[in-house]
Structure 1
Amino acid sequence: MGDFNEARAWMVERQIVRRGVRDEYVIAAMRRVPREAFVPADLRDFAYDDTPLPIGGEQSISQPFIVARMLAAAELQPGNHVLDIGTGSGYAAAIAAEIAGRVDSIERDPSLAEDARERLQRLGYENVEVHVGDGTVGFAAHAPYDAIIAAAGGPHVPQALRAQLAPGGRLVMPVGSSLSHQRLVKIVRRGEHDYDEQALAEVRFVPLVGDDGWPQPGGAPPLN
């Protein structure tokens, strides 16, 4: 696939717009961000296929439509402060950074985090900061957030993430009692202890590992 710009335009039209995503900020961002820069070199010819792709460390870059669907549900606005959980390759953080004022992104795998940090810096995303740590506890040092987006599925929505939402803030993440099946949910904070919740779609994501997610031997690294 020689022309990535043409492939990107085709992807946005066929996979995003025609499947019902109407958020103009998200559509414009996905037209600008080079997904081929966020996948392994040997998979770049598949960068705009309608599928997730492996990026190493038992992680993947999500299907473009799912990224668009989640970011549209989060209703990002210029100037928003976003928490992105599960940095992975950094693709979703880059899309969010095209819209929002600031993005804090958390990745539990130090190697993936460093690769994403270098990639985002190389591409000029100065408004993204990548942290290594447990995404289930959020990043309280920089809270509150106008939007929180998690690219991994947990058994429930961690209380820390609810607490770190600003009034009117939106949280979008997969939730389910099974590692193989989740619902994509959206939570809106209406008051100090008042949250609206709605289910958006049936999805399947990698597990959200951490103190308030799925367990993993050895635990998660500390935030930095």
Structure 2
Amino acid sequence: MTMATAATTTSAAKDYAAARRFMVDGQIRTNKVTDERLIEALVDIPRERFVPSALEARAYLDDDLPVGNGRYLMEPMVLARLIQSLHVQPGDRVLVVGAAGGYSAALLARLGATVTALESDSALGAAARAALSHGRADATLVAGPLQEGYAQGGPYAAILIEGAVAEVPARLLEQLKQEGKLATVLRDNNVTSGRAVLVTRGAAGTVGTRILFDANTPLLPGFEPAPAFTF
């Protein structure tokens, strides 16, 4: 690496560090995110590492970023509030459904969780594995259908679905331990905005759902509403 290249790299790193701080101060702290452990993770973890190189300059925008094949990196504020709602503690087993580039898995691992990151898209999975390895995150990347979850790693204290869904598959809820929590965005094709929700599995398999806030998160492929029957 030449001195000029090194200087450019250092300058870019400083610019991204400033962008992270601006994201946290302007998008996160101002939107009811108060968990200082999570805020520290958001400041420290380079979000640009978890998106395609062409999108690095947009990594800190308050928007969902397309990462290919109909998939998105969730808007920072929405992702942060969903993770905060799970109240993840060190040692918790956590499943990320739709890991995409691995950013949410990295954040959860920084909180001390043992993370299983499930991804069905081979290209996204390879990118996530590389990014997580580079960051030395305590997360295991596994491949498989997102709707099926990953029972081998459960039961989980928390599940994060990184994308909006028409409904939460029962198969995922079955992989929560008692009092385990699942966070996602519920959304129908016919509405302009979804609702972030926290789903808790109680005793005897009972399920409670609490609406958290509105969110425009795009639907996760494979979790769209079933086609309505028409005559």
- Superposed pair shares fold, TM > 0.5: yes
> What does the per-residue CA deviation read over 1:91-122, in whole Å, with 9 as the maximum and x for residues that have no partner?
11111110133111111211111111111112
Contact 1:136 1:209 in 2 (8 A): no
SS of alignment partner, residue 93 of structure 1: helix
Which residue is 1:165 aligned to?
Answer: 176
Counterpart of 1:55, as a letter, is: V
Which residue is 1:5 aligned to?
Answer: 17
The percent identity for this pair of structures is: 31
- Give runs of aligned pairs for residues 130-209 of structure 1, distance below 5 A: 130-178=141-189, 181-209=193-221
> What does the per-residue CA deviation read over 1:156-197, in whole Å, with 9 as the maximum and x for residues that have no partner?
111111111112211001223327643211111221222221
Shift of residue 79, structure 1, vs aligned partner: 1.2
Contact 1:52 1:63 in 2 (8 A): yes
SS of alignment partner, residue 218 of structure 2: coil
- Give runs of aligned pairs for residues 76-155 of structure 1, distance below 5 A: 76-125=88-137, 127-155=138-166
Contact 1:153 1:179 in 2 (8 A): no
Which residue is 1:71 aligned to?
Answer: 83
Count residues with an aligned counterpart. 213
Determine if the alignment matches structure 1 residue 46 to structure 2 residue 64.
Answer: no
Structure 1 ranges of 4+ moved more than 4 A? none
Query: Which shifted more, 82-91 or 155-164?
Result: 155-164
Contact 1:209 1:215 in 2 (8 A): no
Shift of residue 215, structure 1, vs aligned partner: 8.2
For structure 1, the residue ranges without an aligned partner over 5 or more in a row are 217-224
Determine if the alignment matches structure 1 residue 20 to structure 2 residue 32.
Answer: yes
SS of alignment partner, residue 99 of structure 2: coil
Contact 2:96 2:161 in 1 (8 A): yes
Counterpart of 1:163, as a letter, is: E
Indicate the RMSD between aligned Cα atoms, in angstroms: 1.9
Query: Which shifted more, 165-174 or 188-197?
Result: 188-197
Shift of residue 50, structure 1, vs aligned partner: 1.5
TM-score, length basis structure 2: 0.85
SS of alignment partner, residue 42 of structure 2: helix
For structure 2, the residue ranges without an aligned partner over 5 or more in a row are 1-10, 227-231
Query: Which shifted more, 111-120 or 190-199?
Result: 190-199
